[in-house]
Every structure is written in C-alpha cells, then in structure tokens.
Chain A
C-alpha cells in the first residue's frame, strides 16, 4: 500500500509519513500540491494522500479538486490533515472531494482511527 504525504512542514511530513509507515505503508512526500501532482503524473499512484490545506504554490483544496477532476485518479482516497478547523472549511473540503478530515493537532491514534474507518488499515496494523 502506498501513501503520498503532502505538507509544507517537513516536521509534519516526517510525523505523518513515519506513522503511516508504521501502519505498513510505503510513503512518498511532497511539499505542496503541485509537487504532489508531479508525483501522480509520474505514475506513482497511491491508495491514499494526506493533504495539508495551507501550502505555497498549490494549496490542498486546489489539489483535491484537481485530483477529483481526473478519472484516472478516482481510486485515490483523499484525507485532509490540517489546522483549518472551522465547520465551513470541513464542508468545503468534503464538497471538493476529500473523503476524510483530520484536524491538527492529531495523535497517531487519530490517524489510525480514520484509516480504519476508510478500510485503509492493513490487517496487521489494526491492533
């Protein structure tokens, strides 16, 4: 299973990436939406992307809309992981096509719960 971790903070990329590797994922990282699109265009298609909202060059919401507009990427699950936490922002992200939403600050357990909900937790990581 593959996961693409998109965040402009490298600390956050290491934390999210490390946690997902702990779940059994092979991960790659991108510092903004455009960099993430480059990875997808390269043909490295992940099961799931974790996406920060506020990033330079291309923000997370634009990235979500772009991925959703491409039928070839329909199978990719999109999980926002961001400190944007108003009710309206979560509605916007879901409307744009995000499947789940994790609010920063989050714990490794919170990521695990959300991945379990999405059926994206490999069996051996379920406990």
Chain B
C-alpha cells in the first residue's frame, strides 16, 4: 500500500473552512479569513503541530510578527495582559495551530496522534505533491496555513516505493 499524499485526502476548501471556524470562534465572532493570497512580510512567525498516523506530517500556521501580536490580542480579548511578552505570542499562535491541526487530523484517516504545538522555524516539507497550502487575509494581513507531509521516512518507506514500482502501468 502506498502512503497517501495529503492532496488525495484533503482539499484547500476544507482547510479554509476549518480555519474560518477557528477564527470566528476564537479570534472574534466577526473576524473573517478572506481566501485571497497576500505577500508575507520579511519577519514572520510560524507555529505548528505534528500529526502521526496513516498520514504523517504537520499543520503549519505562518504570519507576520505584527500579525501574530494582533492575533494574540484578539484571541485574549479582555483577558489580555497590558504588555504582551514573546511567550504570550508564541503560546497563542501555537494554540491556533493546535486548534486547526486537531480539526485537520479529524478529517484525515485515523487513528492518528496530535503532537504538542511548537513555535519557531517549521520542519522542512516533504515532496511538493504532499503539501497543501491555503493563503488568506485577516484584517487585510496575509497568513498561510500549510498542511505538509514529513520529509523522508517513515513517510515514504522503501517497501512502499517497491510496491509502487510493481504496479503495472
């Protein structure tokens, strides 16, 4: 059996729908993600969660550092501290990745395990065919959500490749 690639399991509109729900519930009732591409600024922040199961990879949220700060304020609303520190921002961005990632996992074949959120430089993506990226604007600022397969084994074990080669064309 060949390990499935993400594009065979999920489409962009499902990711968009999941992200929109996360935004309207957590960021604010009328906070919307407009599915239009924008150019990310030079300084960005990424958060992600890993998924390990029949499909293995991660769900990565990337936005400008300013956007990340505004997202944190919007998420915390009246519960926000006067001064946000770096940990507030990475924690909030990580939680958004966790919420989107958990719901992406639920759409993928199971059983699968969800990792804890991480923030920093995201893991390298595997093959392009195993990557699905959605771009959106939030309050006019660009952000992206990428569902990307893990690089190399165990995602594409040798036995699968052999099996694949056996399939008559």
Contacts and interface: CB of A to CB of B under 8 A. Distances in A.
Contacts of A55: 116
Contact of B78 (A10, A18, A83): A18
B76 A14 contact: yes
A12 B102 CA distance: 15
Q: Looking at chain B, what size class is its interface with the partner chain?
A: 20 to 34
B103 A85 contact: yes
The main secondary structure of chain B at its interface with chain A is helix
Given A14-B79, A83-B102, A106 B92 contact: no
Most B-side CB within 10 Å, residue of A15, A105, A107: A105
Nearest to A107: B25
Contact of B105 (A11, A17, A86): A86
B145 to A, nearest CB: 14
A106 B106 contact: no
A56 interface: yes
Interface in A56-93: 56, 82-86, 88
Contacts of A83: 98-103, 114
A34 interface: no
Contacts of B61: none
Contacts of A10: 87-88, 91
Nearest to A84: B102
Interface in B47-78: 72, 75-78
Contacts of A82: 102
Nearest to A7: B95
B76 A11 contact: yes
A11 B92 contact: yes
A54 B26 CA distance: 18
Interface of B: 21-22, 24-26, 29, 72, 75-80, 87-88, 91-92, 94-95, 98-103, 105-106, 110-111, 114-117
Interface of A: 8-12, 14-15, 17-18, 54-56, 82-86, 88, 104-107, 110
Given A86-B106, A105-B25, 4 more contacts: A54-B98, A83-B98, A84-B102, A85-B106
